[in-house]
Amino acid sequence: EKSDIAVYVEAMQSLLARFTWCVPSGYANSGDISLYDHSRVVASLASCLSDWDDTQLGNIEKNNAVVATFIEGDISGIQRFLYSVPMRGATKQLRARSLYLQLLTEVIARYILRRLGMPITNLIYVGGGHFYLIVPTGVDVNELRADIDRILLKHHDGELYVALGATELHTKDFTAHQFHEKWRELKQNT
């Protein structure tokens, strides 16, 4: 069953994180990248390319094909949400709201992945009110944004907002310099 596979993948990712977070990946002069991070990104790209046929995969490098979409989510309104607590019991409320924002950020990222049928490996980073995803090409970010905005508006009356940005990733974007440029482009789009 599909839910069993998702549970299995998440359990395997947790085990990989626990035991390989400090093991170098050993891939092409990248001693500062852990085996865990390298494997997770490779798995995310593999899931993005899983529906491609052999012809498309055979020509992927030659054509500098668009292989994935890089998405950033940024929750706005955090400062006002966190610090608009009454003085009495402020410490407890501040901790509770901080936890809530962390969970909300992760829930939004997982919501997007579930809507797109992607595994947890495609969640590259989540924390501090931000998340980064690698998803298949052709994703309508505006539709995702509208759905998330509608849900947040219903529950937070406009106090919290998620800015979503996206950029396409080509085969030649996976070098340190090129990926840095893509990251900058993503920040501008967000």
Return d(Cα 36, Cα 40) in angstroms, integer: 6
Which tens digit of pLDDT belongs to each residue from 115-143?
Answer: 999 999 999 999 989 999 999 998 999 99
Q: 104 near 126, Cβ under 8 Å?
A: no
Q: Give the best-scoring range by mean pLDDT among 12-16, 17-21, 110-114, 177-181.
A: 110-114
Q: Model's pTM, two decimal places?
A: 0.84
Query: 151 burial class (0-12, 13-18, 19+ CB within 10 angstroms)?
Result: middle
pLDDT value of position 118: 92
Which bin fits 28, alpha (ψ -120 to 50), beta or left (φ > 0)? left
Q: Torsion angle of alpha carbons 58, 45, 51, 130, nearest 10°?
A: -150
Higher pLDDT, 87 or 121: 121
156 pLDDT above the threshold of 80? yes
pLDDT value of position 19: 83
Strand, coil or helix: 153: helix
Token code pair at residue 4: 């069993």
Instruction: Name 74's bridge partners.
Output: 130, 163
Which tens digit of pLDDT belongs to each residue from 24-83?
Answer: 777 665 667 888 888 888 888 888 888 877 777 777 777 788 889 999 999 988 877 777
Which tens digit of pLDDT belongs to each residue from 157-168?
Answer: 888 889 999 999
Return d(Cα 44, Cα 40) in angstroms, integer: 6
Three-state DSSP string of 14-63: HHHHHHHCCCECCCCCCCCCEHHHHHHHHHHHHHHHCCCCHHHHHCCCCC
Predicted confidence band of residue 12 (pLDDT cuts 50, 70, 90):
confident
